[in-house]
């Protein structure tokens, strides 16, 4: 039962993925260059939202500490407020950078499709111009 469910889930994922690729190709072939940038922009915004969520989660996790640890930190730091521990920015960066790269992979793939389609359109337009010049 579980294997069948996973197979169906994988099939749905592949269909959605193929649909996104076909849609990106269709949008990239439009006369206006802006249509082809819609899907990459959406995926970039989704990656930014994901990164903000991870940063907020890291920040919240760093603020929750057991009472004993808070008391230790208060003794060590003179002007510390009770229960407030500031997050280590390097730890947040270490958590965010790989997630940012992974969540931007779909955007990069869509931009490559866009660039390929636009390059093909540019070459076809050049060939049309050359054939028109040859006819003159």
Backbone angles phi, psi at 99, to 5 degrees: -65, -40
The pLDDT value recorded for residue 73 is 54
pLDDT tens-digit profile, the chain (136 residues): 799 999 999 999 999 999 999 999 999 999 998 999 999 999 999 999 999 998 888 777 655 555 555 555 555 554 545 555 555 677 778 888 999 999 999 999 999 999 999 999 999 999 998 888 877 7
Q: What is the pLDDT of residue 6?
A: 94
What is the pLDDT, as a whole number, of residue 66?
52
Residue-by-residue DSSP string for 4-53: HHHHHHHHHHHHHHHHHHHHHHHHHTSSSTTGGGHHHHHHHHHHHHHHHH
pLDDT of residue 81: 52
Do the Cβ atoms of 40 and 111 come closer than 8 Å? yes
The angle, 0 to 180 degrees and rounded to 10, between the axes of the packed helices 105-135 and 38-63 is 160
Q: Which of 110, 133, 132, 123 is nearest to 40 (CA)?
A: 110
Q: What is the pLDDT of residue 54?
A: 86
């Amino acid at each position: 039962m579980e294997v069948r469910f996973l197979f169906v889930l994988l099939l749905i994922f592949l269909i959605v993925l193929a649909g996104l690729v076909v849609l990106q190709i269709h949008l990239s072939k439009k006369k206006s260059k802006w249509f082809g940038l819609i899907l990459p922009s959406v995926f970039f915004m989704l990656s930014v939202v994901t990164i903000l969520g991870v940063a907020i989660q890291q920040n919240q996790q760093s603020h929750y500490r057991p009472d004993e640890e808070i008391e230790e930190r208060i003794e060590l730091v003179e002007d510390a407020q009770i229960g407030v521990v500031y997050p280590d920015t390097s730890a947040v960066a270490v958590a965010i950078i790989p997630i940012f790269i992974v969540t931007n992979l779909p955007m990069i793939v869509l931009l490559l499709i866009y660039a390929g389609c636009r390059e093909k359109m540019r070459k076809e337009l050049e060939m049309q111009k050359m054939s028109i010049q040859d006819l003159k």
